[in-house]
Chain A
Amino acid sequence: AQSVTQLDSHVSVSEGTPVLLRCNYSSSYSPSLFWYVQHPNKGLQLLLKYTSAATLVKGINGFEAEFKKSETSFHLTKPSAHMSDAAEYFCVVSDRGSHTNAGKSTFGDGTTLTVKP
């Protein structure tokens, strides 16, 4: 079984300040973890993913996330927020090696990021 919890439904930061979006997961197998971004009235776009290689994953637009197995976390960070980062962010978990759930992912409830000028 797999599940994901995004700890904040809304995060507000000022432009130029760091961003932290928190995600905890649960997985019966070795997980793959993803962060997707959804801008208003758009589909979801992959930001980055972890699939058992380096635990610090770098994505597009300056975002990165660190897989911490001991804490079952995969928090998303960015050193300096930009106005264009305002969007909804989804953390996603998928069990690798689970043939009964092959291809199936579980999405978090999303975190809305607001960036103030």
Chain B
Amino acid sequence: DAGVIQSPRHEVTEMGQEVTLRCKPISGHDYLFWYRQTMMRGLELLIYFNNNVPIDDSGMPEDRFSAKMPNASFSTLKIQPSEPRDSAVYFCASSLGRKFSTDTQYFGPGTRLTVL
């Protein structure tokens, strides 16, 4: 298996622009997670899905952030409009989820976002 795939790996954009990050989870995994990692705040869970349905989006910082999972093999995280404080590494992870919290999360390589 190719593991969790994220694209792009690096994104540089200007303030005010729309940014879309993409994730393909491991086939057969029921859970998908979006995280953000910064030096100041560490690793933060933004949102997670179970069987394509958002379960908890309490970590999404504000309305500028949105996430979708139209099918089991694809998810997007969108920021519109982007701001410099959104600069971070965004990780996608997936897990089997059949035993809820005992399952290992498999992380993608991350997308490094820089907003100028």
A interface residues (Cβ-Cβ under 8 A, vs B): 32, 34, 36, 42-46, 49, 51-52, 90, 94-99, 101-105, 107, 109-110
Q: Tell me how far the C-beta of A51 lies from the nearest C-beta in chain B, rounded to whole angstroms.
A: 4
* B contact residues around A102 at 8 Å (CB): 50, 55, 97, 100-101
Contact B104 A49 (CB under 8 A): yes
- Give the B interface residue count (CB, 8 A): 25
Contacting residues, chain A, for B109 (C-beta < 8 A): 42-43
User: Nearest CB to that of B42 among chain A residues?
Assistant: A109
Interface string of B28-47 (1 = CB under 8 A from A): 00010000000000110100
A52 to B31, alpha carbons, bound, how many Å?
22
* Bound-state Cα–Cα, A82 to B48, Å: 35
State the CA gap A52–B102 with chains docked (Å). Answer: 9
